[in-house]
């Protein structure tokens, strides 16, 4: 009985032991299986993430701007190195690194993987493989290369050591072009020695990349970009300027053909450059635009009906007093009454301030916002600023008149270029953009859709503004902006830089913004030079840069130049043999529509001597010129209109009624001649009613 009891107890103990083992096995194999598998993987595996191949970036013509290449990097498996000091000395000799730094990396906490040197030269990698140092290996990695050096660096940006975008487009679209990284697993044996590597798909293979990133095609033209950067660098050196920026834009689509600043940097060696050099100034830097902003005030005046294109404006002898503050004309000019055209051509602060005051705070602010100021354009480059535009309720009594000529407002070069593009294309505000197309590794292409352009001013207003801007280049402050063979419109700007307590007396921003050709604008070019020395005026500093950029840009875009008027032959004209009168279409190249209405273009030339010999008729017309009308007694505005209708311009001195003119009435002058008018508040005793009637009729003598 006792024996049976002992056997039963023993059996019970065995069953209990088996039950405990079973419970433990269930706990280990089922309940805590995932935990122990993870611990095993941690002990026997090490996952290293390697960047994928970044997609390329190219210009509008397919020329590469950023590419990805493969290079060797050096890593070590410290657990396989018997003598760390000796190995460090050997590596230091080959890599040109301090032995202490290499030893520190080998003695780190990780015993199965340690980076020694990333992206070494091919010669270094070859020498390292020849030495065959135990525990030291090379691995293929991707690196970013910029085939055109520093070209467009502020747009492209740069990438870090792990191939991640850190600036410019490289950062902004990093998720698109960066791809999906590869996961490489190092397998270790019981002695913690690495013996194999597998990719995330499980294949026993060398280190490999993940999914390649998308590629970008930009709107940038690298040839135009080169021209712009060359001219900006020359301007900085010539005028010892702090910096210079420029934008070249297609006014119809908003496509940015060039966007640059100087000084610049090499994106392949970005660590050697300063943060200031890496700034994309055309979108990140805010400045007071000065006189280039006057065209926005002119647009507000025309759109609201406050002024008319033919109006004369009293410039007050060069001063405007508001409260206890007197605003002076730039250069202490003392203009009296100027035509609206001459207010812009001569860049009159007082004249344009009167226009702004006439428009009023609300409508003026609405127009400024309509042109896109005070908000970001949405261009793809990171770091864009909206500028500075305060709400009207915070304005002082001086804000409206001073903002009218470009003070108390902060803008970017890109915002100004976009505003002028709206004037160039007939009144529609474009959306600036740099990315034209995204190409996926699968072969799918995503084209950036064009957005409908909102209208900000009427076509009629835009036409008037183009005329004003043309006069700035033809007869005003922008003469040095001419582009041989093309018509040019634009505006100069010279703004004092704001400093604590007011405006600096020796720090300026010189600018010129314009477009060409005027009759069918292909490009808008904005040039801003910050703190030039010696020469400081926009017409002297920025206008020549505009001219140089425009000359090469229009040539690269293959825009036909206008023919030299001296080479025109009358064979483009035709004689109407039935009526005996020569005919040419309105808008003839000989006078912009100022030839007699009976002239037309487009038919075969008459035989020599027929219809009164066209050669002689045209030569006589050009030689004799236009007859100056008698303007005595007319109000200034009527006199300006009368001259404008005849293809002549006005220069006004004083205010009121015309009391003298030069050239005199009846003289014959070339098309475009400026007639100097002396004005007085008291009209002459004799009325000029007959002249008014003739002027309003618009007849050509």
Q: What is the pLDDT of residue 570?
A: 39
Would strands 674-680 and 649-653 be described as parallel, antiparallel, or unpaired? parallel
Q: Kind and range of the H or E element at 489? A: strand 489-499
Q: What is the pLDDT confidence band of residue 151, given thresholds at 50, 70 and 90? A: very high
pLDDT at 123 over 60: yes
Q: What is the pLDDT of residue 43?
A: 59
Over range 116-143, report the average pLDDT: 86
Instruction: Give the tens place of pLDDT for each residue, 339-378.
Output: 898 898 888 999 999 999 999 999 999 999 999 999 999 9
How many angstroms separate the CA atoms of 585 and 576, rounded?
13
Q: Among 306, 295, 407, which residue's Cα sits nearest to residue 341?
A: 295
Q: Which is more confident, 58 or 205? A: 58
376 secondary structure, DSSP code: -
Would strands 64-76 and 114-120 be described as parallel, antiparallel, or unpaired? antiparallel
How many angstroms separate the CA atoms of 62 and 435, rounded?
13
Q: Which is more confident, 497 or 616? A: 497
pLDDT at 189 over 60: no
How many angstroms separate the CA atoms of 124 and 138, rounded?
11
pLDDT at 617 over 50: no
pLDDT at 416 over 60: yes
Q: What is the mean pLDDT of the chain?
A: 81
Instruction: Give the tens place of pLDDT for each residue, 571-591.
Output: 333 333 333 333 333 333 333
Q: What is the pLDDT confidence band of residue 193, given thresholds at 50, 70 and 90? A: low
Q: Kind and range of the H or E element at 57? A: strand 57-58
Q: Among 347, 314, 305, 297, which residue's Cα sits nearest to residue 465?
A: 297
Instruction: Give the tens place of pLDDT for each residue, 479-537.
Output: 999 999 999 999 999 998 988 878 888 899 999 999 999 999 999 999 999 999 999 99
Q: What is the pLDDT confidence band of residue 80, given thresholds at 50, 70 and 90? A: confident
263 upstream amide cis, omega within 30 of 0: yes
Choose the weakest-confidence range: 37-51, 158-172, 426-440. 37-51
Instruction: Give the tens place of pLDDT for each residue, 431-456.
Output: 999 999 998 877 666 766 667 789 99
Q: Which is more confident, 289 or 110? A: 289
End-to-end CA distance of the chain: 149
Q: Kind and range of the H or E element at 552? A: helix 538-556
Q: Among 506, 279, 516, which residue's Cα sits nearest to residue 413?
A: 279
User: Structural domains in the chain?
Assistant: 47-149+179-212 (3.90.1310.10), 284-556 (3.40.710.10), 565-623 (no CATH), 626-697 (3.30.10.20)
Q: What is the pLDDT confidence band of residue 34, given thresholds at 50, 70 and 90? A: confident
* Four-residue CA torsion sign, 237, 238, 242, 244: negative
Q: Among 450, 448, 444, which residue's Cα sits nearest to residue 55?
A: 444
Q: Among 179, 242, 253, which residue's Cα sits nearest to residue 214?
A: 179
454 secondary structure, DSSP code: P
Instruction: Give the tens place of pLDDT for each residue, 93-113.
Output: 888 899 888 888 888 766 677
Provide, rounded to the nearest whole percent, the portion of the chain with pLDDT above 70: 79
């Amino acid at each position: 009985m006792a024996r049976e009891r002992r056997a039963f107890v023993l059996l019970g103990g065995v069953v209990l032991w088996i039950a405990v083992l079973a419970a433990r096995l269930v706990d280990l194999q089922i309940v805590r299986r995932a935990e122990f598998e993870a611990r095993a993987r941690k002990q026997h595996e090490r996952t290293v993430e390697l960047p994928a191949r970044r997609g390329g970036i190219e210009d509008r013509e397919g020329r590469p701007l950023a590419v990805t290449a493969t290079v060797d990097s050096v890593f070590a498996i410290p657990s396989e190195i018997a003598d760390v000091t000796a190995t460090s000395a050997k590596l230091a000799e080959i890599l040109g690194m301090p032995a202490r730094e290499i030893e520190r990396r080998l003695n780190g906490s990780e015993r199965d993987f340690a980076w020694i040197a990333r992206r070494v030269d091919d010669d270094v990698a070859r020498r390292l493989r020849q030495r065959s140092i135990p525990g030291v290996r090379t691995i293929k990695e991707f690196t970013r290369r910029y085939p055109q050096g520093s070209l467009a660096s502020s747009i492209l940006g740069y990438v870090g050591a792990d191939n991640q975008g850190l600036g410019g487009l490289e950062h902004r679209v990093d998720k698109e072009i960066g791809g999906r990284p590869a996961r490489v697993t190092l397998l270790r044996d019981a002695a913690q020695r690495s013996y194999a590597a597998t990719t995330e798909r499980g294949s026993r293979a060398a280190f490999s990349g993940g999914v390649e990133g998308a590629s970008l095609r930009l709107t940038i033209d690298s040839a135009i970009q080169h021209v712009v950067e060359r001219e900006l660098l020359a301007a900085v050196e010539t005028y010892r300027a702090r910096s210079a920026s420029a934008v070249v834009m297609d006014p119809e689509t908003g496509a940015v053909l060039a966007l640059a600043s100087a000084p610049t940097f090499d994106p392949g060696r970005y660590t050697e450059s300063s943060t200031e050099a890496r700034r994309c100034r055309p979108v990140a830097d805010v400045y007071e635009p000065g006189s280039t902003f006057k065209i926005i005030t002119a647009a507000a005046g025309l759109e609201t009906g406050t002024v008319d294109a033919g109006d004369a404006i009293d410039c007050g002898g060069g001063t405007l007093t508001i409260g206890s503050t007197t605003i002076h004309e730039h250069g202490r000019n003392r203009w009296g009454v100027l035509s609206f055209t001459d207010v812009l051509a001569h860049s009159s602060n007082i004249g344009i301030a009167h226009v702004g005051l006439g428009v009023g705070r609300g409508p003026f602010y609405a127009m400024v916002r309509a042109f896109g100021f005070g908000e970001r354009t949405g261009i793809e480059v990171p770091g864009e600023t909206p500028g500075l535009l305060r709400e009207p309720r915070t304005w002082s009594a001086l804000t409206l008149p001073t903002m009218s000529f470009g003070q108390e407002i902060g803008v970017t070069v890109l915002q100004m270029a976009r505003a002028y593009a709206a004037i160039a294309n007939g009144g529609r505000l474009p959306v600036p953009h740099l990315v034209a197309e995204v190409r996926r590794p699968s072969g799918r292409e995503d084209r950036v859709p064009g957005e409908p352009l909102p209208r900000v001013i009427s076509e009629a207003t835009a036409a008037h503004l183009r005329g004003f801007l043309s006069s700035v280049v033809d007869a005003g402050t922008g003469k040095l902006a001419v582009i041989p063979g093309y018509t040019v419109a634009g505006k100069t700007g010279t703004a004092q830089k704001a400093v604590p307590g007011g405006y600096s007396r020796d720090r300026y921003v010189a600018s010129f913004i314009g477009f060409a050709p005027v009759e069918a604008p292909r490009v808008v070019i904005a040039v801003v030079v910050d703190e030039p020395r010696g020469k400081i005026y926009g017409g002297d500093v920025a206008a020549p840069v505009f001219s140089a950029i425009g000359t090469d840009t229009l040539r690269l875009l293959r825009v036909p130049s206008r023919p030299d008027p001296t080479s025109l032959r009358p064979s483009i004209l035709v004689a109407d043999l039935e009526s005996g009168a020569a005919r040419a279409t309105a808008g003839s190249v000989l006078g912009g529509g100022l030839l007699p209405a009976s002239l037309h273009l487009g038919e075969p030339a008459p035989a020599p001597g027929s219809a009164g010999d066209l050669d002689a008729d045209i030569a006589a017309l050009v030689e004799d010129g236009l007859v100056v009308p008698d303007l005595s007694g007319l109000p200034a505005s009527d006199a300006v209109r009368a001259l404008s209708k005849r293809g002549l311009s006005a220069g006004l001195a004083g205010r009121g009624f015309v009391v003298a003119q030069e050239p005199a009435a009846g003289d014959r002058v070339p098309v475009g001649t400026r007639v100097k008018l002396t004005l007085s508040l008291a009209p002459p005793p004799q009325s000029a009613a007959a002249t008014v009637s003739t002027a309003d009729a618009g007849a050509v003598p």
